[in-house]
Every structure is written in structure tokens, then in C-alpha cells.
Amino acid sequence: MASVKPDCFRMWRGAGMKMETPTVRPQERDIVQPDAMIGKVRAWVAQARRVVVLTGAGISTESGIPDFRGPQGVWTRDPEAEKLSDIRYYMADAEIRKKAWQARLVHPAWEARPNAGHEAIAGLERRGKLHALITQNIDGLHQKAGNSPECVIEVHGTVLKVVCMSCGWKGPMQETLIRLLTGEDDPPCTLCGGILKSDTISFGQNLVPEVIARAMRSAAEADCFIAIGTSLQVYPIAGAVSEAKEAGARVVIVNAEPTPFDGIADAVLRVPIGKTLARILL
């Protein structure tokens, strides 16, 4: 409602005025009438044969995992916390690594359960409609909800594993957390002594080209593309939205705050994710 220009409302309410469609872009109308739009999006999903979903941190906030940039986001509340996700600080500074490991130890992902949003996407796969699930999330909640590992494209890695930055060895996060609990504060690789890190892509770190290529290919194959709980500020994956649009998909954005891609979306729903997905992805 807030994003509709007051002039438009004056025009609608003007007595005796011809009811012309005001200069409101489609997504602004959608925000004004979310219920009507939810029905429309549900019909698009019902007709679609290849739904591709892109999720961000916002889908997991209802499971108790804060996002980064939302109003209660980790970086919104503490800008210094951004350093813990930056590979340059992580590799150069043992103190940053110690803080990062302490943050991992108490990460809400260990206790989190999938919410109605995750469950609705898992249901879409069970019904054979989900072509791909691209996620920027590292929390593993889509798989916990029942999405198959083959369907989930984790473009920013996973917090459930660790990787050695020297020899590339990977192992379960659980074992490293046990080492922390038994007194190590910056546990090195047991094979080569290199720096260990969660198997996630930090800022400043290279993405895995094959994973990004698969995500972009999937986006281009969608007939309905839904971006959920992402500020769409992290590239290159934010570009999947235009990729899908240019290939002819209907594009839907479900996010509490505006994104840079709202202008090309067929529908924008600024609504809480869990209960909305339960209505859209039937």
C-alpha cells in the first residue's frame, strides 16, 4: 500500500471521474490486492509444467534463522558481523576465524525445523512440478523438508560440511564442532594442517562455475519462476530472474521488501512467506 502514489488514490476516489486505470505498475496493483494476486499466482503454478524456485535467507526466518539484510538481519543489527562472512578477513586473521567458529557452534541451523514455506516447496516436488530449486541458503532446510538433493542447487554451499582451504578435504561439520567443544578454537585440517572453513561460499570467494551454470540453465528452462525471501542483491544468482523472464517464464517475487527486480516481475507479493506459499503452491 505504501508504495502506491497517493495521486493514484485521489484519481480513483474522485467523484464523477472516469474510472481510468491509473499509472500503477502491475506489481503495485498486486501489493494493493494481495489476495486477488495470490489466486492468480496459484493458477499460474497449476498451469505450469516446470516451476523453478529461487530461495534466499528470508524463507528460513520463520524457522528462527535470521537473514542478513532484512530489518532483523544479522548485518542490519551488527555491520561488523559481515567480516565473518568475508574470505579475506577469514584467511588473514585467526581472531576472525575463532569468532566465526564460535558463531557456527551456536548457529540456529542446528535446531531449526523446516517451516510451512519449505514444506510447500517440498510438496511441489512430490507432485512432479518442481523443475529445480535454486537456493542461496546454506542451512539444509529444503532437504530436511523433503526436497531431494538432486533437485536442490546450493549456489552458496552448505554449513553441514567443512572444507580445507589448502588440500580441499571435506568432512561433516559435526566432527569439527565436537573439536571446538573439546577446546580447539581454530581447528586445522587433520590431513594437512590447513585452514578449515564451513563449506559455504564467503564474500570474495569464487563460486563454483558448474553450479552457477546449472542454476542459470534451469532458470532459462522454467515456465514459472518464483523468487522467495531474497533481496536479490547477490550476483550472479540474482541474474537468474532476468534469465527466466527473457526465456518467457512468468516471474513471481515473494518478499517482504522491494527488490531491484520487482519492475520485471509479473507479480510481486510483499507478504509473509510461510502462509503465502502454502496457498500458492497447492
Is the N-terminal amide bond of 236 cis, ω within 30° of 0?
Answer: yes
Q: How far, in Å, CA of 176 to CA of 159, rounded?
A: 12
Q: How far, in Å, CA of 72 to CA of 68, rounded?
A: 8
Q: Which is nearer to ligand NAD, 45 or 138 (CB)?
A: 138
156 is catalytic: yes
Cα end-to-end distance, the chain, whole Å: 27
| Residues 148 and 69: beta-carbon distance below 8 Å | no
Q: Which is nearer to ligand NAD, 55 or 189 (CB)?
A: 55
Residue number closest to ligand NAD, CB atom: 58
Cβ 113 to ligand NAD, closest distance in Å? 13
Q: Which is nearer to ligand NAD, 11 or 81 (CB)?
A: 81
Q: How far, in Å, CA of 130 to CA of 52, rounded?
A: 6
Residue 228: in which H helix or E strand, if any? strand 224-228
Q: Which is nearer to ligand NAD, 67 or 266 (CB)?
A: 67
Residue 169 CB partners (closer than 8 Å, separation 6+): 163, 189, 191, 192
Q: How many Å is the maximal CA-CA distance in the chain?
A: 80
Comparing C-alpha atoms, which of 142, 150, 108, 132 is closest to residue 223? 132
Cβ 54 to ligand NAD, closest distance in Å? 9
- One of 118, 131, 142, 156 is an active-site residue; which one? 156
Cell numbers that stand for 213 in this block? 551454470
Cβ 59 to ligand NAD, closest distance in Å? 7
Q: Which is nearer to ligand NAD, 76 or 166 (CB)?
A: 76
Residues that bind ligand NAD (CB under 6 A): 56-58, 60-62, 65, 67-70, 73, 136-139, 156, 229-231, 233-234, 255-257, 272-273
Cβ 57 to ligand NAD, closest distance in Å? 4
| Residues 120 and 180: beta-carbon distance below 8 Å | no
Cβ 140 to ligand NAD, closest distance in Å? 8
| Residues 141 and 114: beta-carbon distance below 8 Å | yes
Q: Which residues are catalytic?
A: 156
